Amino acid sequence: MIYLGLGLIIFLGVHSLRIVSDGWRTRAIARVGLQPWKGVYALASVVGFVLLVWGYGEARHASAALYNPPLFTRHVAVLLMLISLVLVAATYVPRNHFKAALGHPMYAGIKVWAVAHLISNGRLADVILFGAFLIWAIAGFVVSRKRDRAAGTAYPAGDALGTVLTVTIGVGVWAALVSGLHLWLIGVAPLG
């Protein structure tokens, strides 16, 4: 569990700088330069991610069961993951209706991803990992929307092409995960 905790602290810590200290982050980028900042940010992110994946892999089987989710929650989680992956795709596809409505679809997608995994997994390691991401995504979404309102940010309008492309990418990634990619990557088949 130590590696999982350390990985979460590093990964979510790096990704929380804009949430908790946007002014310090802006000053640090100005002081060291954008490219060196991105390099350190990327390195810390990779180290944190590797530690949390490794730590979760070790802790997942060894941690205590806190609750035993009913079988139907797997099906609910699979459906929620479809929504999550469409929202994550919306982050990267320009001019889609999801981004126009939410402004920060990545945070929304991660919230749905975390809830999907919390309802279908009941071990301590699951609650720590997915609970931490859920709390982070909620905080990030709230702070980002507040910052956008203060700055008068207007999100670009979505159009049909961007929205269809977003849904197509999200559904494609979801289908790949359900048909074997999740099992290959994570070692768990979403539907058992």
DSSP letters, 133-149, are HHHHHHHHHHHHHHHHH
Per-residue pLDDT of the chain (192 residues; tens, 9 = 90+): 899 999 999 999 999 999 999 899 999 999 999 999 999 999 999 999 999 999 999 998 889 999 999 999 999 999 999 999 999 999 999 999 999 999 999 999 999 999 999 999 999 999 999 999 999 999 999 999 999 999 999 999 999 999 999 999 999 999 999 999 888 888 888 887
How open is the CA angle 159-93-112, to the nearest 5 degrees? 100
> What is the pLDDT at residue 183?
85
User: Measured between alpha carbons, how far is residue 42 from residues 28, 37, 117 in Å?
Assistant: 15, 8, 26
Q: Is the pTM of this model over 0.85?
A: yes
> What is the pLDDT at residue 146?
95
Per-residue tokens: 183: 């099992």
Q: How far apart are CA 93 and CA 114, in angstroms?
A: 22
> What is the pLDDT at residue 145?
95
Is residue 137 within 8 A of residue 107, CB to CB? The reply is yes
Unique residue bearing structure tokens 């981004």: 99
Is residue 96 within 8 A of residue 165, CB to CB? The reply is yes
Is residue 129 within 8 A of residue 56, CB to CB? The reply is yes
